[in-house]
Amino acid sequence: MVRPIDVDDNLAKTPAAERVNQLEKAAPDIDQRQAELAIREEQAQKQRETQQPEGTDEVLIRREHDREKEASDKRRKRKRKDKKKDRGLDLTA
């Protein structure tokens, strides 16, 4: 037969043991939730921090400069060609 002290002791320990079992069962879920939250926070942080692409502005400025230089070179060549025509004698007449 069970003594009264043992029954009280067993009843007192039962909720604690159940809590431990529940926590052990929930531990993988808690770990997964924490990992998910960490990943979401990392992604949010990356979105907040914008990084300046390296050299992008330099490439655009360089292309623009090259286009302007080509255009001015073409204009100079046309002017030289026009000047040569004006200076030369027209022998076609």
Q: Are residues 6 and 42 in the same domain?
A: yes
Do 21 and 2 belong together in one domain? Answer: yes
Provide the domain limits for residue 42: 1-47
**How many domains is the chain partitioned into structurally?**
2
Report yes or no on 40 lying in a domain: yes
Residues 14 and 38 reside in one and the same domain: yes
The SS3 call for residue 37 is helix
Provide the whole-model pTM.
0.34
d(CA 15, CA 8): 12
Task: Please indicate, yes or no, if residue 93 is contained in any of the structural domains.
Answer: no
Give the tens place of pLDDT for each residue, 58-76.
766 777 888 888 999 988 8
Residue 65 lies in a domain: yes
**26-52 pLDDT tens trace:** 777 888 889 999 999 999 998 888 776
Question: Quick one: CA torsion of 58, 59, 62, 67, rounded to 10 degrees?
Answer: -150
Same domain flag for 11 and 32: yes
